[in-house]
Amino acid sequence: MKTAIGALAGFALAFAMPARAEDVADAARSASKPAPIVLSQSADVLRVANWISATNDNQALPYAIIDKHGASISVYNAKRKLLGTMPVLIGVAIGDEATPGIGSKNLAEIGPAEKTTPAGRFLAKFGRAAGKQKVLWVDYATSVALHPIPPGAKPKERRRQRMASPTPDDNRITFGCINVPTAFYGKSVAPLFQKKGGYVYILPDTRAIEDVFPPLRVEALKNGDAAR
């Protein structure tokens, strides 16, 4: 669950000396900025992260875990260090499978029920999309990519406002792609995945998590035996 965090600072300085015009202007600009979003990881994200770490499933590549229920992305480097958890925008429709042949359709041909972000384990690599835009392709065959909010997004979709909202309830708006905060994408995602790519693990909406990631069932059995 996302929690909006505000910060109060500078009152002692304000009372100690007269405020300068430029200080007032800076304060006004800061106050107009949206509060940062701090996200926590769900039990399922931690479960997948522990499995990846225990089995080296990331194969010495960076990776990301996307929690569709929490509308979040957790990004890790190749050494399995968590670099941050941030909000994402995902497909409008609830579902874990991509419609067959959807990768060859124009956006106008894609129906509401087809706008899903598929669940699974994907080897993601950078490539070109329409308009020569460079994106991180999660699944090229189904046209699912990870990228910031596109410049051409319709204003009525309110993607930036949705991403900054304090709950994940309004984060379903894309055709299936995963939108991440621009600054986080530039600082953490792009540099990590640029050279060799990496893995993206997308948790399911409706399917059992063990059906999407079968090794979790084996891990659960091992843990159960250890407990006995």
| 2.40.440.10, 3.40.1160.10, 3.40.640.10, 2.160.10.10: CATH of 38-227 | 2.40.440.10
User: Whole-number mean pLDDT of the chain?
Assistant: 83
- Residue boundaries of the structural domains of the chain: 38-227
pLDDT tens readout for residues 66-96: 999 999 999 999 999 999 999 999 999 999 9
C-alpha dist (Å) from residue 88 to 24, 151, 162, 177: 33, 16, 9, 10
**141 CB-near residues (< 8 Å, 6+ apart):** 103
**Between residues 100 and 64, the one the model is more confident about:** 64
pLDDT tens readout for residues 130-166: 777 889 999 998 989 999 998 888 999 999 999 999 8
pLDDT at 102: 75
pLDDT at 4 over 70: no
pLDDT at 10 over 80: no
User: Looking at residues 187-199, what average pLDDT do you find?
Assistant: 96
Pairing verdict, β 72-76 and 63-67: antiparallel
- The CA distance from 148 to 139, in Å, is 16
